[in-house]
Structure 1
């Protein structure tokens, strides 16, 4: 009979950190992974470079986790992004800071991060089983007693579920953890894609008029049915053959999905501002000055270099202004054009599906999880961490930070509880 103190199910970001924290606290720890290798999804993050965390104060990090980030305050008070940085630095993996506080390994390879975690797991004598799929969590009345694999039962008073969400199923994120948790009585909030490209059926998208056009530092806003702004993000944006991608679109995606859910999948309106730093009246002056400087040129030539040429042509064609002389443009036309620059409206019908998105929204209901320990409020000895929880952040190292923080918190507290928990092995 195999008996451990703590069993961690899933060797991704949160699972590896949970196993390390449990073993550091003195627990005899088993880490189970259904893939052949560890950290398969972590290897893909940050374009294969692994944006491991973000160098910002706790308040800022939590503000960048719009999906229930406040739940993390207690966990952050025990282990935060600076502790993540210290963990890697003290284990010989040096990090560097890039734009917006994003932290990467100096090697620019996510494999360095996975290798560091794996080396620490080995150092701490964590038992590791790969190609080990958990069929069932075992319990006796209201106490966890272990897990059932295909051909054996393994016992422990504490089990930490860290099986990931449902994005990138090829990495093993196929939603197993939700099923296991549901069988134990947990509620799963509706799963939806976040950090996902946006799909539009606008004619200009279908005709590929702006496909491949990249815009820097523009503001994209999601509007509700009353035309009020739900959220705005000032970042880069990319037009694609199916709609919109790039950081601004990805950050708006969870809000798009929430609006779609609220309004029976009615298309959601977005507004694009290419000059977010100036007011509409200043934008108008800018246009007027350019037209006055080149009165005999066509509007298209007079406004050259105002914005990228393809977008300029697109906007001018919408207003039938491209080929008239600059001096013939009326005040009303200047106003209409400036309004396009400050608030071009377009509709999106959905995002890419969850399997092709970066992050899963929704998950295990946080009402049923203790924020100090990550232990289930329904079943003693059951813990959760990582993307399985109903927590989601923006790209930029925030989701990985949440995974490391919840993983460490769950591992540490599972080890403490395992120390004094009696294990009644003859399960129901």
Structure 2
């Protein structure tokens, strides 16, 4: 009864897909998960709506996975984001596309995604063992043989797929168990760090909560090095908070902030361009035209709609411009200071949210020790890895879930193939 071909440890995004893939390839499969139900973290993604994948071409998807995305080329040659879309469409979970190619379930709830996966697991007779913690994984002569749980139950299988997640949202069960198992078999764990995380700042406007709660659309946020050169820049939305900045632009920049902080510096320079579609010369032309058209209006009213009102007032204050003066009173120096701030407002980040409060774990199982074609360990036969446990991390926008589904599918397929050799 406790004998299987493939055992999946962890019933999240990659775990469920690995189980489905293994079962579709003829394996007798079990999922062991510590939670009461599968997909606990998946239910939280996309604000509870689940941004399940992205509609960009597969080669572009890899470009949006800055943390070792190239490792996934072989996996993507076997299963892509388009296959993920087809999987859900053919299993009764229609998807809809939103901005930046992001795909969500039409039902607008992550529950639809989890239920679609659960329904498929049931169809394929995958055994689901919940509220159970795996304590150890056994091997004999370099080959995986079984797993032992906290209830001293032993489940036998020649192949185990580790899909226990990283160390983010630890209350969902992602407490780093997989790293311990990987280490036991000699695997290296690269340093873990928070990515897709809000950025903390000590700048005065943050301390004073001047902009708290303000959201800016389609700005450009850049991370700079100590020579003021741009390391990375993202044009997306930004949210000012009580601790710093959040929103898609900040989340995408956070990995690079952490990498700079790891070099021993205390604060990382950031630059905010509130109007990335306009060059400085175009902005000056716009201001001068407004002076011609409505020069007697106050600066605040004359420049209305150029920026959101609160941010406009802040920019005027930063440029030391009296917003009640008439527009025609603006000096060339004031225009220059204002434009400089709008296009290149400098502030710093000193930290990001910690791992357990971030969206994605950077770092993980060293990829040189894993076969990119099969996701199997190069150190022990029958041990496979998938999902956030790997040293792979992408931006928000469906890229991390895509990587989890793709690596899960590939690991499950090859685990089933290896396990089939033991049945002869």
TM-score range, shorter chain: over 0.9
**May I ask how many residue pairs the two structures share in their alignment?**
422
Pairing 1:210-249 to 2, within 5 Å after superposition: 210-249=211-250
Q: Is structure 2 residue 236 aligned with structure 1 residue 208?
A: no
Match of 2:395 in 1: 394
CA contact (8 A) 1:157 1:422 kept: no
Q: How far is 1:265 from its partner?
A: 4.0
Match of 2:112 in 1: 112
Match of 1:80 in 2: 80
Moved more, 299-308 or 143-152: 299-308
Match of 1:91 in 2: 91
CA contact (8 A) 1:49 1:104 kept: yes
CA contact (8 A) 1:291 1:303 kept: no
Pairing 1:24-43 to 2, within 5 Å after superposition: 24-43=24-43
Q: How far is 1:106 from its partner?
A: 1.2
CA contact (8 A) 1:33 1:133 kept: yes
Mapped partners of 1:85, 1:319: distance in 2: 49
Match of 1:298 in 2: 298
Match of 2:197 in 1: 196
Match of 1:411 in 2: 412
Match of 1:176 in 2: 177
Q: How far is 1:253 from its partner?
A: 0.8
Please give the secondary structure, in 2, of the residue aligned with 1:83. helix
CA contact (8 A) 2:196 2:254 kept: yes
Mapped partners of 2:211, 2:291: distance in 1: 25
CA contact (8 A) 2:221 2:272 kept: yes
CA contact (8 A) 2:318 2:341 kept: no
Structure 2 length normalisation: TM-score? 0.97
Gaps of 5+ in 2: none
- CA deviations on 1:41-71 (whole Å, 9 max, x unpaired) are 1111111111111111111111111111111
Pairing 1:271-420 to 2, within 5 Å after superposition: 271-322=271-322, 323-420=324-421
CA contact (8 A) 2:17 2:409 kept: yes
Match of 2:259 in 1: 258
Please give the secondary structure, in 2, of the residue aligned with 1:420. helix
Mapped partners of 2:289, 2:68: distance in 1: 47
- CA deviations on 1:216-274 (whole Å, 9 max, x unpaired) are 11111110111000111111111111110111111111111111112x14201110111
Mapped partners of 2:326, 2:209: distance in 1: 28
Moved more, 204-213 or 91-100: 91-100
